[in-house]
Amino acid sequence: MFEETRKYTEETYRTKDELAEELELEGVVLEAVWKQIEEYRSLFRREFNFSIFSGSLVLTATCCRKLQHTSELLFRCHKEQGTASALQKVMLLVQGQKHWLQRAMELLSLPPLACDVSAFLEDEEEPLLLRCFLLSVLHADTQICACILLHAACPVNPTLICEQEVYQKTASDLTPRFLAFLDGIRLQISRSMLSLTETDITASQTMQLQELQVRFPELREQQLLFYVDHRKPYCYYTIRQFMEYAGVCNETARCAMEQLVQRQCYQRRRVGKKYVYYTV
């Protein structure tokens, strides 16, 4: 029973209704199982008691790992453009102040938050995404979120976080929404990483080609272009591929690849009766 109790908290977080439907439980049996699950969750539950709202999160090891990993992804994002210069100036003015968020909201003419809420959002010892999540529960203001992200030197656009669905205040256990909140951010980050347009890729390749032309002026453009397009890790390339890419004969392709080997762009290995070329 302990493994089942742990499973529906650690591996997949289930509400009472979801558990009843999944396991087809009801009545006394459901209550007994749910009691054990709640006792297990109480070991990890953290209560949040604000003057305007109360709720709790079950911060298990799995949940904390997801929070940490999502936070790391967030800070590895490329710097987003679009933060208003006025907001940046405000954050410079309040930098170093004890109640920096309250002061920033005054300068931005935003309605004040409750003191205990503001104090929590200003607390840098609290995880950034936990603060942003509870902000979405309590207020969901993009400008406040932008202030918190700027203060933490986080490069993402606040809309990435504020676009997550706002949780209804009626549920006391916020854990399902918090996990979905983290998943939503991870999905948005993944989409942004995959959103390079063909123009972006071409521009990147052009920049790489120009750098290589400066580094290896003696090599032909065809050789450098082939290298730019053929240097994935754990992949190998052949002389025939260069022949087809550049439209040249076997001997010309072989010489071109050997020149790239000499300049440590590739390393050569013999596989059977032919040579293959790996990125260094």
Give residue 261's pLDDT: 92
Query: What is the per-residue pLDDT for 19?
Result: 85
For residues 185 and 129, is the Cβ–Cβ distance under 8 A?
yes
Whole-model pTM: value is: 0.63
Whether residue 236 contacts residue 277, with contact meaning beta carbons closer than 8 Å, is answered with yes
- The answer, yes or no, to whether residue 151 has pLDDT greater than 90, is no
Among 6, 7, 38, 34, residue whose Cα is nearest residue 20: 34
pLDDT score of 257 more than 90: yes
Bridge partners (DSSP) listed for residue 267? 278
* Cα 163 to Cα 269: distance, rounded to the nearest angstrom: 51
CATH 1.10.10.10 fits 198-279, yes or no: yes
Q: Which of 34-43, 47-56, 111-120, 200-209 has the lowest mean pLDDT?
A: 200-209
Task: Say how far apart CA 13 and CA 5 lie, in whole Å.
Answer: 10
Reply yes or no on whether the pLDDT at 164 is more than 70.
no
The band of 247, judged by pLDDT with boundaries at 50, 70 and 90, is confident
- Flag whether pLDDT at 204 surpasses 70: no
What local confidence, expressed as pLDDT, does residue 126 receive? 92
The residue with greater pLDDT, 213 or 78, is 213
Rounded distance, CA 244 to CA 228, Å? 16
Task: Please give the pLDDT value at position 274.
Answer: 86
pLDDT interval class at 168 (50, 70, 90) = low
| CA–CA–CA angle 87, 90, 95 (5° rounding) | 125
Q: What is the mean pLDDT of residues 114-140?
A: 88
Cα–Cα dist 161/182, whole Å: 9
Q: Give the residue-averaged pLDDT of 170-190.
A: 82
